Chain A
Amino acid sequence: MTQLALVIDLNTCVGCHACVTSCKEWNTSGEAGPMADKNPYGVDPTGTFFNRVQTFEVGDFPQTETIHFPKSCLHCEEPPCVPVCPTGASYKRPEDGIVLVDYDLCIGCEYCSWACPYGAREFDEKEKVMKKCTLCVDRIYDEELPESLRKPACVLACPTSARIFGDIHDPASEASIAINLSNGYQLMPEWGTQAANHYLPRRKVDIKVHEEDLMRSSNPLDKEDRGQRMPTTRVTLDDSTSW
């Protein structure tokens, strides 16, 4: 069984919000209708988004790290929002595990938003229905697009490749490999929602720098006793190139 999902690498996300804007651009232009905005250029702008990037500061100053944390619908394998829906507008597709809202069935009772512990659902103030990430279901199967573009808009937009899209039930997929190799985890595992989207944890990025890494201690010219050793003040080829 297929379960499409996103894997988000918190090491490489730089918090540029490109996924947010490309998500909004793609999904507000689709045939499902616009995602309403209120005061977009005024005081207190607000509107419907499927995806947001939040920022957290971790640690005690000055030893702090900034975590940029993109959050959208996690397409849970046990979605608590689906069984509570009184109309059947919320459903999980058996063929690929995407959790969707049928905007024509939704009565806008907001009960599903109460049932989602992640706050992944947003009520569209203009269309009066509940909306959420669709994993760009209208483009990932679009055969008019070249195969490399059949991915969610946020994944294509990410400049640091922090977002990986794939089938987490296929052990050979890029998403599964990333989860397995980097200990990908789920959000709020305590509620048994089995979120399909995974996050890759922050890794230690400090490296030990040895003196000889900076200053070449074993100059082959010294060993072979050939020619004159270059004065260290002069710029060498090693200094000016990066290979």
Chain B
Amino acid sequence: MKPAISVILLTTLIGVAQGLFLAYYSAEVLSLLLILPNQVLVGSGCAGIISLVLLVGGLIASFFHLGHPERAWRAATMWRTSWLSREVIALPITMGLIFIYSVLKLTGDHQIMFNLGNGNQVELATVVGFFAMIAVFVLFICTAMIYTCLKFLQEWHSPLTVLNFILMGCASGFVLASALSAYHDPQVFGYISGTAMVLSVAALASRYASLARNRNLRSPSTLQTAIGIHHPNIRQIAQGAMGGSFNTRAFIHTYGPAVVQLARRFFLIAGFIIPVLLLVISNESPVVICTLAFLIQYTGLLAERWYFFIEAKHPQNLYYQMIS
């Protein structure tokens, strides 16, 4: 597949946004449950707003993928069958809930909803955050299933795709949250940066597993099944268009194997290994180092999503092997 820039930006940006929200919200809940030291997080509202900005950025990027963006609202209609439609519904719901959560946090609303047995009180913002957390996971699944559900794109048609989207989104969000917590809430920095490292390593393992799986894939489709002529030696002479067609423009990339291999190595190192190493040594000046780690990781994840498209071989390419 040819990488679609707008889709790469959409999936990576909303992944960071979702992970960032989960990082701060999980720290808040763990504090309430006294698993982390009991405290009030200063940066929750700020994290919510950054998350919201990233979600809006992803949404804007996605519009550039559409031929008719003014009709985008129609995409919510077929949620019974289409994962894309489900994502179109889940994204604004997530944005709305994170917006309400951020406003409640920033305005200092302390309306008590109920008491926990341990003496802590659960505020309205935490309840809204709970629903936002569910929406975040639903959005992760919808986004990943858009790719996973296409069964003949075998490189994508695996539960590993869903796992990768969740782990990479969470890892990058937690790394950004590390920088934010180092500035606003140093007391949870240890929890957030530690989880960020675990998530980054888990994402590396999961992504590596899918790379290993895809290396040995054999498509059941061949030129023989594509045109139904069962002879081992078939060559295409003409593809029916001299100047290329939508089929050659949208599905066939022109990057050489060296570039593709470079991208794979780059995303494995920049997307996972360097950020973890930077987090390990981040105690000196955590804000700067964690911000740097996030920027490097995000660049790596852009390369990862680019490679994700390059990796998938569409069976229609069998019909477009030679231009003449």
Contacts and interface: CB of A to CB of B under 8 A. Distances in A.
Contacts of B319: 54, 71, 118-119
A113 B234 contact: no
A190 B241 contact: no
Interface in B224-267: 225-229, 231, 233-247, 250-251
A114 B150 contact: yes
A66 B245 CA distance: 23
A85 B82 contact: yes
Contact of A86 (B76, B149, B231, B320): B76
Interface stretch (B42-50, B62-70, B127-135, B275-283): B62-70
Given A108-B68, A117-B315, A199-B228, A84 B241 contact: no
B192 interface: no
B322 to A, nearest CB: 10
A129 interface: yes
B56 interface: no
Contacts, number: 177
Interface size range of chain B in the complex:
35 or more
Given A117-B221, A191-B221, A71 B68 contact: no
A114 B251 CA distance: 8
A149 interface: no
A201 interface: yes
Contacts of A87: 71, 74-75, 77-78, 85
A49 B225 contact: no
Interface stretch (A56-64, A163-171, A222-230): A56-64
Contacts of B77: 86-88
A211 B215 CA distance: 59
Contacts of B184: none
B82 to A, nearest CB: 5
Interface string A71-107: 1000000001011111111000000000000000111
A59 B231 contact: yes
Interface of A: 10, 17, 20, 38-39, 43-46, 48-49, 52-60, 66-67, 69, 71, 80, 82-89, 105-111, 113-119, 121-123, 127-129, 185-191, 199, 201-202
